[in-house]
């Protein structure tokens, strides 16, 4: 899984019907010091996360195990809102 | 998922029979400022997207969940045409 | 999927029994201008592609959906011989 | 699989319900000389690994085969605590 | 699949029980000129490969299709010992 931050939204009216009603968010993976990386992923929200919140992202086939995503063509899902990250670097 | 732009097509007459009638498009993932990246992917269109449109791409096993792709050997599919991308960078 | 070119072969006599009789080819993903990238993949041929031909490669679990690959431990398969690539860059 | 070192923890109270009670750890893949890489992954612990220990990480759908992870939306799991790594470089 | 060379072993006594008796080897993907890359992967041996031999590696969910790996949490497996690699570069 990856730590990311929600930075945007996508609207697509012409889409796979199983995506209807799903919230597509743009998230940026974060570095361990909390700064943004330059990459991004479009992930479906499954936990009601808010804008700019730090979230936990799952990728690949496991995204379809997220709540409500069975048989939905998604490869990335937000599965948690992160309260604290505790890292001890050497 | 990724945001991409359709930039080309592929014709292959000798191919896996389950690909018959599928539209194979060349798409370029986009940066968040709307510019093209240098990479590309061949994706199967499942939503009737038009040339140069911005589209949503799903990769991996989830591409087989896109409409009409069950048991088809594809690893990338266009699952939406993007109307708007709204990003708020710091 | 990726566009690639067949550049070599592999012989392995001691191998997983389900690979018996499968043709293992070395392919190089191509750039959109037709030039070779520096990377390579070993892919199983499922369409009778010829040496140096441009082919379409599928990767990951979808490679097992290619013809004759059910339950075979492969993660990349040649699923088409490419006739034409038509790209319009800006 | 990858060799990694446990360097931190994540707390997320608002999350997918199947993650309840799972221990989410931040691990850094290691180079073969034992030094840290710059990347990190959030992995679920399934073997009771301790802080700073070297562990074995499995990624992708196989993470759901780790103990207790069936149908859980995870894409990385700790599946072993490494005693010794024996490498002979040229 | 990838061409790799076996360069080491891992011992892990505290591990997922389905890994018991499996041989975990450290392999380095090779360049096409036969030289080592800088990366490495931990792969489970399923064909009785010997130290320093060139082997064929399968990654992702397909590693679980290798002999004896059904339902085992592995994402990379050695599925062949390579006799010859024949490449014709331009």
Phi, psi of B19 (to 5 degrees): -85, -5
- Integer Cα distance of A80 and A76 in angstroms: 12
pLDDT band at C90 (very low <50, low <70, confident <90, very high): low
Average pLDDT score over residue span A4-21? 97
Structure tokens at B25: 């498009």
Neighbouring CB atoms inside 10 A of B68's CB total 10
Which residue among A8, A61, A71 sits closest to B87, beta carbon to beta carbon? A8
Residues 6+ apart with CB under 8 A from B21: none
Q: What is the pLDDT along chain B (90 residues), one digit of tens a residue?
A: 999 999 999 999 999 999 999 999 999 999 999 999 999 999 999 999 999 999 999 999 999 999 999 999 999 999 999 999 999 976
- Integer Cα distance of A52 and A48 in angstroms: 12
Contact A60 D75 (CB under 8 A): yes
- Tokens 């690979």 appear where? C19
The parts of chain E modelled with pLDDT lower than 70 are: 90
- Integer Cα distance of D9 and D6 in angstroms: 8
Residue A29 has pLDDT above 90, yes or no: yes
D88, E8 contact by CB (below 8 A): yes
Q: What is the DSSP letter of D50?
A: P
Length of chain C: 90
- Integer Cα distance of A70 and B62 in angstroms: 10
pLDDT tens-digit readout, A33-74: 999 999 999 999 999 999 999 999 999 999 999 999 999 999
pLDDT band at A15 (very low <50, low <70, confident <90, very high): very high
What residue ranges define each of the domains in chain E, with the CATH number in brackets? 2-81 (2.40.50.220)
Structure tokens at E54: 């060139």
Structure tokens at D35: 């030094």
Whole-number pLDDT of residue E16 = 98
Which residue among C58, C84, C90 sits closest to B73, beta carbon to beta carbon? C58
pLDDT tens-digit readout, C30-77: 999 999 999 999 999 999 999 999 999 999 999 999 999 999 999 999
Residues 6+ apart with CB under 8 A from E19: D79, D80, E12, E44, E72, E73, E74
Whole-number pLDDT of residue B89 = 75
B32 vs A: CB within 8 A: yes
Q: What is the DSSP letter of D44?
A: E
Neighbouring CB atoms inside 10 A of A54's CB total 20
pLDDT tens-digit readout, D20-62: 999 999 999 999 999 999 999 999 999 999 999 999 999 999 9
pLDDT band at C89 (very low <50, low <70, confident <90, very high): confident
- Integer Cα distance of C28 and C55 in angstroms: 10
Whole-number pLDDT of residue A90 = 65
Closest to E41 measured CA to CA, from E86, E74, E88: E74
Show which subunits contact C, needing at least 3 CB pairs below 8 angstroms. B, E
Show which subunits contact D, needing at least 3 CB pairs below 8 angstroms. A, E
Residue D90 has pLDDT above 90, yes or no: no
CA dihedral sign, ordered A72, C73, C27, B20: negative
Which residues in C lie closer than 8 A to residue B13 (C-beta atoms)?
A: 81, 83
pLDDT tens-digit readout, C3-28: 999 999 999 999 999 999 999 999 99
C41 vs B: CB within 8 A: no
Q: Which residue of D has its CA nearest to A77?
A: D73
pTM: 0.97
Which residue among D2, D66, D90 sits closest to E73, beta carbon to beta carbon? D66
Q: What is the DSSP letter of C19?
A: G
Dihedral through CA A73, CA B44, CA D76, CA D8, nearest 10? -90
């Amino acid at each position: 899984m990856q730590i990311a931050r929600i930075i945007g939204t996508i609207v697509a009216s012409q889409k796979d019907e199983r995506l209807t009603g799903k919230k597509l968010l743009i998230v940026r993976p974060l570095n361990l010091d909390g700064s943004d990386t330059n990459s991004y992923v479009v992930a479906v929200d499954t936990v009601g996360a808010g804008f700019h919140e730090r979230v936990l992202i799952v990728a690949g086939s496991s995204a379809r195990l997220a709540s409500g995503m069975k048989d939905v063509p998604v490869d990335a899902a937000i599965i948690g809102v992160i309260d604290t990250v505790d890292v001890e670097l050497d």
